[in-house]
Amino acid sequence: MGDPLRTYIDALRLLARTHDPNRVVLIKRNIDRYLEMESGERERGLERLRVAIHNEEAEGGEWEDWSVARDYVRSLLRRMVNAQRRTVRLQLYGLVQGLSYAVRLNDLKNAQHFRARLAWALRGPNNLAKRLHGDLKELFEISGLWVRNVGKRHALKLQIQRLIRRIIRRVKIQRRNRRPVRRRLT
């Protein structure tokens, strides 16, 4: 039995050569079926498809139009990357808000747990903006001083709270499908 990717690329090649009015739908359906087969490995499957389409486009004739397949795979990859970034930002938002709550309540034990998770987040590979990464690093250092009770605890607490407000603004979590609020004038 051959490589399933080769089978789907052959089908996409036939569709790239046709001028069928339903060509766009058929190409998208074909790509979606391939990705269903690659369950659990969607990112890897998309990358394999992208490379295969690129290679076919490079060696294909002028009568083949791979633009629909290429653009659809790119849009799926872009959507996946955006979803991953949103997930990372949501996790950071929750982590920073939790640390803020622990500091506000003077809860040293929970603050230490949030600091440990923050250290793990800083060590891991992330695509954070330099300013945000710097602020998170500073938050980790200052909260460490606060937990160890070094210096003036109240001043450190205020500094942590200011820094957290700045980080929350930078994370910018936006709700999806948010409707504008209409206010009634009475």
Residue 116 is predicted with a pLDDT of 92
Residue 79 is predicted with a pLDDT of 92
In angstroms, the CA 171 to CA 128 distance is: 9
pLDDT digits (tens, 9 = 90+) for 15-70: 988 888 889 999 999 999 998 887 678 888 889 899 999 998 888 777 888 989 99
Least Cα distance to 31 among 19, 55, 48 occurs for 48
Decide if 12 contacts 69 (C-beta within 8 A).
yes
Least Cα distance to 140 among 166, 124, 120, 126 occurs for 120
More confident residue, 145 or 1: 145
Residue 151 is predicted with a pLDDT of 75
Least Cα distance to 141 among 117, 167, 115 occurs for 115
Cα angle, residue 77 at apex, residues 71 and 78 outer, rounded to 5°:
85
Residue 72 is predicted with a pLDDT of 93
pLDDT digits (tens, 9 = 90+) for 169-186: 888 765 555 566 666 766
In angstroms, the CA 103 to CA 154 distance is: 10
In angstroms, the CA 183 to CA 186 distance is: 9
Residue environment code for 17-53, b if the CB has 16+ CB neighbours within 10 A, otherwise e: eeeeeebeebbbebbeebbeebeeeeeebbebbbebb
Mean pLDDT taken over the chain: 86
- What's the average model confidence in pLDDT over 99-124? 91
Decide if 121 contacts 91 (C-beta within 8 A).
yes
Residue 186 is predicted with a pLDDT of 60
pLDDT digits (tens, 9 = 90+) for 129-179: 788 889 999 999 999 999 998 778 899 999 999 999 999 888 876 555 556
Q: Is the per-residue pLDDT at 82 higher than 50?
A: yes
